[in-house]
Structures are given as structure tokens and as C-alpha cells.
Amino acid sequence: MDEANTDDGLRSILKTSHTFAILGANPKPERAAHYVPAYLQEHGYEVLPVNPVHAGKEMFGHTVVATLPELQVPVDVVDVFRRPEALPGHLDEILAMKPLPKVVWFQLGIRNDEVAQKLVDAGIEVVQDHCALAEHRRLM
């Protein structure tokens, strides 16, 4: 779990990943769950919004889906914009994805070691408490 959180690990994830599912995507431009994926999209990543509150609406050129397993394409990274206490409720949803994502990325301020360990045990790399936008700017 620690390798993914090193500069080399983060750089490798950002270089080899193409598709980000944004769990908790938000339509408000001032929210990190909007401007971070917008930045990623501007830098060539495919960004797929996931949020049951906004399901059916359009964000980042895609229709928002309610849950991760509803996505119709393989995802490299699930980028999580949810409170740490909500993470256990998303574990089964992440593990139900076919195929599994390579990485689950908990954004800055988001950490849950128990959920992270279960994801690692399932063969998924986990980044905790890092902003994808800030790390992309710093490392790429």
C-alpha cells in the first residue's frame, strides 16, 4: 500500500492511467469534486462522473451514473471525493466493478486504513490523502 503513495508510485499511476471514475463528482465549479476532475480532463484523462444525487445529468461530457458498477468501460482509477466515514459503504461497490480498477485514490484529507487494506487485499493499489491535481502538477 505504501509504494503507491511515494513520488515514484504516484508518477507511475498518473503516467499509466487513462480513465478516472470520479466517486462523488459535483457539478459546482468551486468544489474540489468538480475542479479536480475538470483539471484531469484538461490534461487528457477520461473522466467518468459517479454520484447518485446527480445521476442522469451530464458532467465532463458524460452522463452521471449512480454507482461504480454501472460504468460501461474499464476504469484505471477510482478517484474518491467522499468523507472517510462513508468509505466502508463504497467498498462492496468498488469490489463489484468488472474489471476491478487498478487504483483507488482517496483525495486530500481522505484516509481509511481498514478500507484501504481490504482494497489492497483484493489486488488494488491505494493512494490515501493526496490531491490528484496537486500531484499531477508537482510530478508531471
What's the CATH code of the domain at 56?
Answer: 3.40.50.720
Encoded amino acid at 132, one letter: A
Q: What is the pTM of this model?
A: 0.96
Question: Distance (Å, rounded) from C-alpha 72 to C-alpha 115?
Answer: 24
- Using a 10 angstrom Cβ sphere, with 0-12 exposed, 13-18 middle and 19 or more buried, the burial of residue 75 is buried
Give the tens place of pLDDT for each residue, 14-73. 999 999 999 999 999 999 999 999 999 999 999 999 999 999 999 999 999 999 999 989
Q: Which domain holds residue 126?
A: 3-139
- The number of folded domains in the chain is 1
Give the tens place of pLDDT for each residue, 66-111. 999 999 899 999 999 999 999 999 999 999 999 999 999 999 999 9
Contacts of 122 (CB under 8 A, 6+ apart): 95, 100
Q: Please state whether the peptide bond connecting residue 99 to the residue before it is cis, i.e. omega within 30 degrees of 0.
A: yes
